[in-house]
Structure 1
């Protein structure tokens, strides 16, 4: 059924909600997500949405997931569809497949910006913006009668244009006039700012239903990542509240639930907003708890006043969750207020990734590959690290030496990012800066690392995470791109002098794979011990997750090269790197000796 028709027929006194999922990267995660969706369907969402990877990179999995939820679970499905960076014909193929599977709702998005410079546009030139996709569907006798079309809106301004409100409103109005039936907003955390934006939207004559995007904060690091990617403005009061609990996932999660309830009550209090869109990150517990506290679960009739009147215990202020006194100032709050880049915590910190807690926390690329949330994405379905337009800090490298210089400038904080690292070097990695620079100068382009730590307090400023009164430890590892010759030398040294303490994974574009790790072994490289809890493992390095990341890592080289015309020095060099380099991860198990890994790799220093 078309979402616009469902909303029109929905009882005015009964709030509705939609759930957003992304297609997991592994078959095991996909199967486990279907089980999760089956459970969440009991909450009676009006629809489920499925994201679409940049350039159609998740095409098959997105269509499969959307088709199953539509046909097998009987839930109306909204298929996200991006139009830029799509090869000619792919949009038609996706629309025809969706139609054949009974999907009637499309969320038409621009997706990643078009590739390249003014003289190089290797994409379907018909699609540069979301409005182009709306117009295309509405102009098609084949597609227009079948599909209900939604579009995205950005209450705080589009990430590419946060300064000119008039332009943003003109773009939104153009999409609606082109035939959009409903609007889904990017997530936000400032309800007052959203309501001000809503008033302006209605004054502009836009009358279609608006569904605000809501994401309960899952962990502090995931929250910062989404905030940075989407350029969301967070009220300083929220950052101040989060500061003293930022290393305790459970407290952050509880805070996020209460904050989401508070935001939803505010934005639905005027009668205009009748439902919300939950960005789930493929998790379920937070969303379920939000709906239960709202008394919306199962579609029960509830209004804001009834919720407050019926609650056996009044909803406490958000600030009451923070019970630990602190005199620390909030650098993160100051950074967000000044619109500077907030450093994203290193992989695994504060993100519990074992199977028993799949329902609780995000499961990034160092988590359990069987989790539905493995490799969590941003709201509109991006695959995590994505090149997008070539960043000015990267220059236009045409030689391996210029690539080495880029990686060194990132280590020296002279480049804010690389195509493989979306944020500056973390404070944790600053402690091994000398070793990282030495390896990079030797041609081992480092993309991820962590130092060894032996039993530090969980409140440690650089390494701490989890509840107070605990202790954390971690093993040193490093991941880099290198030549096959380097792989051979490291393998030989591990055989001769590794003593069983050094494990590695290495793979190239062609599918060649080497390791000394047993097939089913999993290396927990970050863990914590806390009062009254089992040992918590937050960073896991194992075969499947490495190979999944390897596919993405080499696709980034492909994407980067595509910004340059065929035959150019830059494209020729980047293509050569993609074909000849290996991705390698090396781990040392002796976490008692902080120099063990670096001493082992000393032969590769320059």
Structure 2
């Protein structure tokens, strides 16, 4: 059924909501997401939505997921569809396929922005903006009456920053005039700013439903990364509340649930908003808990106090929140009862317990469990999260391998704020091994991920700590880098001859070749924690499946970087050659008691 029809028929006094999912990277993750969606379906969303990878990169997975939820679960499904950088004719193929699968709802998006109009050649000249897709569908006798079409809006401004607010609102009005039936907004956290923006939207004569995008805060690191990528404005009070608790993952998650609930209450009361779009990141617990706080689902209290709430900022620790709940969360997800705190930061060296019971608790880092529906998710938009102007400002015009080495060194030395592989400055943990990273990079081994060895640091340590308080955390040293095939041969020989069973490696290139000394089904736990009243929490596990999945992403980053330059330029040729010829190498040293074990092994004999 069309979403516009369902909204029109919905009781105006009652809220409605949609849930957004992305296609998991692995077959196991896909299967487990289906089970997760079936549980969330018990919360009676008015629809769910399925994202679409940039340039159609997740075409088959997105179509399969959307088709399955539509046909097997009877969930009205909204398929996101980006139109730029798509192969010629792919839009036509997708529209036919979507219609044949019984899907009636689309969210028309532009997708990755062109990398500079003077150098960008569209794959299909019919589609350069979302309005082109809306107009094309509405002009089609075959599809116009079949589809309900939504479009995106940006309360905090579009991520590319190329237009002022009035111009953006004019573009939004044009998309609606072209035939859009509803609007879904980018995530935001400033309710006052949103309500002011919404008034301007209505003043433009836009009358279709506006559905706010809500993303509960999962961890401080993912919050910081995603708000940076989306250009989200952070209210000072929110930042003030988060800073004292940012190293306690459970408190941040609890705060995120309550903050989202308070946002929705204000949007309902002050803005008259009826519907909300939850960006789930393929997680389920926070969304369920938000709905429970709002009393939009049945709630039975036990009368026991939730001590975590007492540690939250006073503005959110209300008496009504002091009960533990027996709720639809427990009724539909018994596998996740009784779990402790699991950390997950969106950077190398942070992950999630390799256990199905914890998949709901926190977003996976890159080295979480490859069977999890949330495995490997870095952000919901794709691309490098940076404009062409910023990219050229930071990385210039590299024409040689030495130029690339200088770029990676400049980042390590804080002379540029980011690389395509590292979206921000080095964190304090990485600074503790900076001299080693510099020496590897000067050798031409461009480091893209690492962590130091840690032997029993306090879980409240500002540099290494994570998880609940009163615990201890441990780490094995590992490092990832790109190097040429000659270095691959030398590293492999050295480990085989002198590793003594202490050193494991994974190596792979963009051509599908891979090497490893890790036993079949071997799982390298490289980060773990010990906390009162809990089992040992293994939060980062590097295994073949997860490494190979990350490898695919890593080489796509080289291609994204290359696309900032003209097709025939020496810069693009260099970056494409590097992607074709260099290997991605991950080396793990299991002696976590010696903080220098990994670096001594790799750099032995070097001054």
Common topology (TM > 0.5): yes
Please give the residue correspondences for 1:209-288 in structure 2 after superposition, counting only pairs within 5 Å. 209-270=209-270, 272-288=272-288
Contact 1:152/1:185 (8 A) holds in 2: yes
Higher relative contact order by CA 8 Å / sep ≥ 6: 1 or 2? 1
Distance 1:355 1:386 in 2: 31
**Compared CA separation, residues 131 and 580, structure 1 to 2 (3 A):** same
Q: Which residue of structure 2 lines up, in the alignment, with residue 85 of structure 1? A: 85
Distance 2:120 2:186 in 1: 30
Distance 2:384 2:568 in 1: 26
Q: Which residue of structure 2 lines up, in the alignment, with residue 427 of structure 1? A: 428
Per-residue deviation, 1:503: 0.5
Per-residue deviation, 1:348: 4.5
Distance 2:460 2:563 in 1: 44
Q: Secondary structure at the match of 2:91?
A: helix
**Compared CA separation, residues 521 and 387, structure 1 to 2 (3 A):** farther
Contact 2:352/2:359 (8 A) holds in 1: no
Q: Which residue of structure 2 lines up, in the alignment, with residue 337 of structure 1? A: none
**Compared CA separation, residues 547 and 64, structure 1 to 2 (3 A):** same
Kindly provide the CA deviation profile for residues 101-129 of structure 1, in whole angstroms up to 9, marking residues without a partner as x. 11111101111111355134252233222
**Compared CA separation, residues 163 and 176, structure 1 to 2 (3 A):** closer
Kindly provide the CA deviation profile for residues 378-420 of structure 1, in whole angstroms up to 9, marking residues without a partner as x. 3xx4347567634421112111111111111111112222122
Please give the residue correspondences for 1:256-335 in structure 2 after superposition, counting only pairs within 5 Å. 256-270=256-270, 272-297=272-297, 319-320=313-314
Contact 1:528/1:536 (8 A) holds in 2: yes
**Compared CA separation, residues 271 and 436, structure 1 to 2 (3 A):** closer
Per-residue deviation, 1:319: 2.8
Per-residue deviation, 1:142: 2.2
Q: Which residue of structure 1 lines up, in the alignment, with residue 24 of structure 2? A: 24
Moved segments of 4+, more than 6 Å: 315-318
Q: Secondary structure at the match of 2:414?
A: coil
Per-residue deviation, 1:317: 12
Q: Which residue of structure 2 lines up, in the alignment, with residue 496 of structure 1? A: 497
Q: Which residue of structure 2 lines up, in the alignment, with residue 530 of structure 1? A: 531
Q: Which runs of 5+ in 1 are unaligned?
A: 301-312, 324-343
Q: Secondary structure at the match of 2:167?
A: helix
Q: Secondary structure at the match of 2:314?
A: helix
**Compared CA separation, residues 590 and 189, structure 1 to 2 (3 A):** same
Q: Which residue of structure 2 lines up, in the alignment, with residue 70 of structure 1? A: 70
Contact 2:257/2:290 (8 A) holds in 1: yes
Kindly provide the CA deviation profile for residues 11-39 of structure 1, in whole angstroms up to 9, marking residues without a partner as x. 11221100000000000000000000011
Greater alpha carbon shift after TM alignment, 260-269 vs 86-95: 86-95
Kindly provide the CA deviation profile for residues 152-178 of structure 1, in whole angstroms up to 9, marking residues without a partner as x. 111111122287221121111111111
Q: Which residue of structure 1 lines up, in the alignment, with residue 560 of structure 2? A: 559
Q: Secondary structure at the match of 1:479?
A: strand
**Compared CA separation, residues 388 and 101, structure 1 to 2 (3 A):** farther
Please give the residue correspondences for 1:23-172 in structure 2 after superposition, counting only pairs within 5 Å. 23-115=23-115, 118-161=118-161, 164-172=164-172
Greater alpha carbon shift after TM alignment, 508-517 vs 352-361: 352-361
Question: Between Structure 1 and Structure 2, how many residues are aligned?
Answer: 571
**Compared CA separation, residues 321 and 193, structure 1 to 2 (3 A):** closer
Contact 1:137/1:143 (8 A) holds in 2: yes
**Compared CA separation, residues 595 and 531, structure 1 to 2 (3 A):** same
Contact 2:350/2:367 (8 A) holds in 1: no
Per-residue deviation, 1:346: 3.6
Please give the residue correspondences for 1:379-390 in structure 2 after superposition, counting only pairs within 5 Å. 381-383=380-382, 385=384, 389=388, 390=391
Q: Which residue of structure 2 lines up, in the alignment, with residue 339 of structure 1? A: none
Kindly provide the CA deviation profile for residues 50-97 of structure 1, in whole angstroms up to 9, marking residues without a partner as x. 001111111110111000000111000000011112121122222111
Please give the residue correspondences for 1:584-599 in structure 2 after superposition, counting only pairs within 5 Å. 584-599=585-600
Q: Which residue of structure 1 lines up, in the alignment, with residue 372 of structure 2? A: 371
**Compared CA separation, residues 383 and 538, structure 1 to 2 (3 A):** farther
Contact 2:347/2:366 (8 A) holds in 1: no
Distance 2:533 2:315 in 1: 21
Distance 1:427 1:549 in 2: 24
- The normalised TM-score by structure 1 is 0.90
Q: Which runs of 5+ in 2 are unaligned?
A: 300-305, 318-344
Q: Secondary structure at the match of 1:601?
A: helix
Q: Which residue of structure 1 lines up, in the alignment, with residue 327 of structure 2? A: none
Distance 2:427 2:463 in 1: 9
Contact 2:251/2:311 (8 A) holds in 1: no
Please tell me whether residue 399 in structure 1 is matched to residue 400 in structure 2: yes
Contact 2:83/2:110 (8 A) holds in 1: yes
**Compared CA separation, residues 446 and 148, structure 1 to 2 (3 A):** same
Contact 1:349/1:465 (8 A) holds in 2: no
Q: Which residue of structure 2 lines up, in the alignment, with residue 460 of structure 1? A: 461
Q: Secondary structure at the match of 1:423?
A: coil
Distance 1:161 1:27 in 2: 37
Q: Secondary structure at the match of 2:187?
A: coil
Per-residue deviation, 1:571: 2.4
Contact 1:446/1:478 (8 A) holds in 2: yes
Per-residue deviation, 1:297: 2.8
Q: Which residue of structure 2 lines up, in the alignment, with residue 540 of structure 1? A: 541
Distance 1:243 1:22 in 2: 30
Per-residue deviation, 1:511: 0.8
RMSD: 2.3
**Compared CA separation, residues 317 and 249, structure 1 to 2 (3 A):** closer
Per-residue deviation, 1:351: 5.1
